[in-house]
Structures are given as C-alpha cells and as structure tokens.
Amino acid sequence: MNTKLPLEGLRVIELGTLLAGPFTGRLLADFGAEVIKIEPPEKCDPMRKWGKSKDGVGLWWPIQSRNKKSITLNLRVEEGQKILKELVKQSDILIENFRPGTMEKWNLSYEELSKMNPKLIMVRTSGFGQTGPYKNRAGFGSIGEAMGGLRYVTGFPDRPPTRIGISIGDTLAALFATIGCLIALQERNSSGKGQVVDTALYEAVFAVMESLIPDYLLAGYIRERMGNILPGVAPSNIYFTKDKTYIVIGANADGVFKRLCEAMNQPELAEDPRFSTHEKRGENMKELDDLIEEWTKSLNAKEALKILEEKGVPSGLIYSAKDIVEDPHYKQRDMIISVEHPQLGEFPMPGVVPKLSRTPGQVKYPGAESMGKHNEEVYCGLLGMTTEELKRLQNKQVI
C-alpha cells in the first residue's frame, strides 16, 4: 500500500504496560502514528509472556505491539526522566496507564511535560481516574468490570457473577481513551494547545451499561443476571439444534418476528395475543423460546440458518477460533491477516478495524521480538545521540 495513512506524522510515546494503555497505542499505530513503546531496561512488559507461546514466543505480544518501535528507558532515574522530556519535545501524544501519582513521583507530571511541549496530549488510563476518593487505588480491568456494573449482570441467575471471556474492561477503556485522544487532537487544531485525556476503567465499563441507572432510579428495577436473554426482549437467545449445537437468533422487532414465524412455518404465531407485540413477547419469553427451540431441534444448524437467512432473520453460529478461521467472510474482509515474524514466519492476527474507504489502516510488522530493538534508531536518529553516548547509557542501565 502506497496510500498515506491518516495518522502519519503523529509521534506517540507509549509508557503503559499490559493492556489498556498499549491497546490505545496499537489502535493509533494501525492508522499510521509512529508509536514508540518504552519498557524499563530491567523488566519487560508482562504482555511479552502472556497467553500461549510457540517456540518460546508469546503469541499475544506480536499483536498487541504491532507497528510499534521498541526502546528501553529507566524513568526512575533523573537521567532517564531528562531523556523522556527530550522525546516529549518532539512528540504529539504520551500514553500512560500507571497508578495516579506515579508520573508525578518521577517529575513527569503533565504540568512539567507541557513546559517542554505545550501541544502535548497526555492520555492517562487508570482504574478510577486522576481525581476522586478512589484515585490512588490499584485497578485492573477485572475491577473496572466489577465496579462498572458489568460483572453483576453477567452469567446465569442461579450462579455467581462471571467474567466475559476477554479483557473487556481494558479494551473498552482503550477505545474511550483513543476517542478522547482523537478529540483532543482535533481541538488542538484550533487552540494550538494540548490537554489531558483522563479515562477510568470503571467509567469506560459503566458508560456502556445502557439503561441500568434509570431502570433503578426511575423504575425501581435492578437488572440481574439473565443468562443468554435480554430482559423483556424476545426472542433473543441461543437455541439447540438437531446436530447438538447452538445457534443465536435475534428476532425481537415486530417485522423480524413475523419473518421468523414464516421461517418456522407457523405464521399464525405473529398474530397470537401472547406474542403479537414487543411487550407481550417479553412477558411470555420462556413459552416463546420453547416453541422456537422445538423448531430448531428438528433441524441441523446449517439447515436452520439457511432458512433463517432466506427469510431475513438475524441468526448465526456461535463461532470458535476454528469457525472464524474457516469463514470466507472473515477472509474476504481481511479480518485475518498474516505478517512476517522473524522467528515464527507468517504470523496470523486480527485485521484493522474500522475499515476506511480511502485511507485504510495497515499492519506493517508484528511487535518487536526483543526489548530495545529500536534504541539506536530513536536515540541516535531522533535525539542525535552518538553511539558512545548510547553505550554509556546502557552501562549505567538508563536504557
């Protein structure tokens, strides 16, 4: 691809570890920002070792740190802090997801860094935000999911709250942090000034919790765990099939429900007083789901889905990784791509989201396999250090 990527020309310093901060850096890097990932010289980002591995290579890191440059720098010492300030002078964005107060302890507060570069945008992600009585608490995505209200409503009513199968709290926070970063960039175009983007994990989760609060404060209803159903919304569930698998059907709108009834060869159900309106279907959810599953159990999953597709009823299999890899739609949309990894060869990973029609994002290379791979490029090329200076800093464990 020779098209200029939309965020080319932006330089991002990424200080965060694990997931929330680095995922923000990944999103910006996918669209062309130069992201310089900094790790302390004595200790790598734990994400390098997370997940499954092959030939000693962690399979999470190449995705999470794709398109990024990797350097090392000790921010706990004064000389390292001075070097960071020099990088800040030539950068647009700094991402960090330490506990509030950490950057200030290192003399790297926004007030201090903005003296070096008044246009700097500082993206700060933490468990509870930079203000408030909980600001000093440690917080991971799991805590944000719990205190943001998500864990309480996840699972089945007869069992304890459960986790969604991915680190959704971290990724939601990263998405909101990225949105905030892009908003601040747009505002900077008119004001010429940078600012702080403050994203809390619990707030990112809470922000997507739909009508949870007015349900309680205005209707006296506390949403509880409901398993695979949506409270008062039917049909929207998983249904067992003849070949012992499950399919998902969502047909709660009146017109779609009518098409589902036609697909089941039971058009009369659309006029049945128990199911003829959205409210009635919600009230008689269990009875309706039983009728639908009686139909799905008479067919193999592919047979049922073919009929539903022909009738325009939203439906689908519950995909495993194997199903995703074999699906032609994923391939056609470039949602599984391969990039060359120096140790593993062709490395498969998710494609870029969202799709832009004229200036799409691009994955050029996987996360750097070694810490500090780009030290010379950044310190000598960008900051103008000599190789002798680089060796001196290495010997002092500053880098």
Three-state SS letters, 3-59:
CCCCCCCCEEEECCCCCHHHHHHHHHHHCCCEEEEEECCCCCCHHHHCCCEECCEEC
To which residue do tokens 């997370």 refer? Answer: 50
Q: What is the mean pLDDT of each run of 10 residues along the chain (399 residues)?
A: 86 93 97 97 89 90 96 97 98 97 97 97 97 93 95 95 94 98 98 98 97 96 92 93 96 95 96 95 95 97 96 96 95 96 95 95 94 96 95 95
Q: Which two tokens stand for residue 378?
A: 């950044």
The predicted structure's pLDDT at residue 248: 97
DSSP readout, 223-253? ----TTSBTTB-SEEEEE-TTS-EEEEE--S
Helix, strand, or coil (residue 62): helix
Delineate the domains of the chain, giving CATH numbers in brackets.
11-208+332-395 (3.40.50.10540), 236-240+246-317 (3.30.1540.10)
Residue 138 CB-density burial (10 A; 0-12 exposed, 13-18 middle, 19+ buried): exposed
CA-to-CA separations, 8 to 26, 29, 151, 350, 359, in angstroms, rounded: 14, 9, 38, 21, 11
CA-to-CA separations, 254 to 9, 231, 259, 271, 295, in angstroms, rounded: 50, 17, 9, 10, 19
Calculate ∠ Cα 174-19-186, nearest 5°: 25
Angle of helix 301-310 relative to helix 254-263, nearest 10 degrees? 130
The predicted structure's pLDDT at residue 232: 87
Helix, strand, or coil (residue 197): strand
The predicted structure's pLDDT at residue 373: 95
Q: Which residues are catalytic?
A: 170
The predicted structure's pLDDT at residue 199: 97
CA-to-CA separations, 282 to 48, 87, 285, 336, in angstroms, rounded: 47, 57, 5, 38
Greatest C-alpha distance within the chain: 84
**Is the separation of the CB atoms in 24 and 94 below 8 Å?**
no
